Amino acid sequence: MLPPHLKSLIEKLSSLPDTGPRAATRTALFLLSKPEQELRELAGLISGLKTNIKTCPDCFNLSDGNSCAICRDSRRDKSVICVIENILNLIPLEKTGRYNGLYHVLGGLISPMDKISPENIRIEELVRRVKKSAGETREVILALNPTVEGDTTALYIERELSPFKIKITRLARGLSTGNSLEYADEITLSNALTGRK
């Protein structure tokens, strides 16, 4: 009932995150209504992704060449490394404008359920990086999700980094801004109490 070319496109689009067949159909028809030039631009950006985007060999953030824009930036504080699960976590941290150090992208969290063990994420690379910095690294901030996987990973990293003389910190836990105290769960509330100041 739909032309085969459109069917193939809808099928491909359906495999994108948060996109069911209905949304994929809507997107395909939307694209069909766009001028040729725009479609060619989008297609070019998609097909050129792999060639134009590399991984930073130091922090594993995305980069367009060798070191990423953050590692290259001479104004950033090279003595602090913020450990994050993935690149999606880097964006909100940068948006706060309150962090001026470097990052280390783990590429996942330890999760026995999902068969992700410490060797599958970039913990060894972090340890090597701290070692190589020969005392330049003063602090490692573990900015991981407040979940079982995040806590497990944080504990593991803390242990691995214990031989080095560096400060290891975690993001504060407490009430989220705008959330009502009435609806905060017990753990959040007890964290908020413990961390009171």
What residues between 45 and 74 interact with a copy of itself by CB under 8 A? 45-50, 52-53, 62-64, 68-70
* Maximal C-alpha separation, the chain: 67
* Full strand arrangement of the beta sheet holding 139-142: 102-105, 80-84, 139-142, 167-170
- Answer yes or no whether residue 2 interacts with a copy of itself by CB under 8 A: yes
The verdict on 89 binding a copy of itself (CB under 8 A) reads no
- Of 66, 72, 77, 94, the one binding a copy of itself (CB under 8 A) is 94
Instruction: Please select the residue that binds a copy of itself; options are 27, 67, 111, 191, rule is CB under 8 A.
Output: 27
If one asks whether residue 26 binds a copy of itself (CB under 8 A), the answer comes out as yes
In contact, 91 and 65? CB cutoff 8 Å: no
Q: Which of 2, 189 has the CB closer to a copy of itself?
A: 2
183 binds a copy of itself (CB under 8 A): no
Applying CB under 8 A, among 83, 84, 87, 176 the residue interacting with a copy of itself is 87
For residue 193, what is the enclosing H or E element? helix 186-194
Out of 29, 148, 155, 187, name the contact with a copy of itself by CB under 8 A.
29
* 18 near a copy of itself (CB under 8 A): yes
Listed residue (145, 141, 42, 157) closest to 101, CA to CA? 141
In the complex, least distance from residue 49 CB atom to a copy of itself, rounded to whole angstroms: 6
C-alpha closest to that of 32 among 62, 14, 5: 5
Cα–Cα distances (Å) from 143 to 3, 25, 40, 86, in that order, read: 48, 38, 39, 10
Residue from the set 82, 84, 90, 144 that interacts with a copy of itself by CB under 8 A: 90
Beta strands (DSSP E) in 52-172 are 54-55, 62-63, 80-84, 102-105, 139-142, 167-170
Q: Is 3 an interacting residue with respect to a copy of itself (CB under 8 A)?
A: yes
Residue 174: which of 158, 190, 150 has the closest Cα?
190
Q: Among residue numbers 128 through 157, which ones bind a copy of itself (CB under 8 A)? A: none
* Binding site residues, a copy of itself, CB under 8 A: 1-6, 8-9, 12-13, 16-19, 23, 25-32, 36, 39-50, 52-53, 62-64, 68-70, 86-88, 90-91, 94
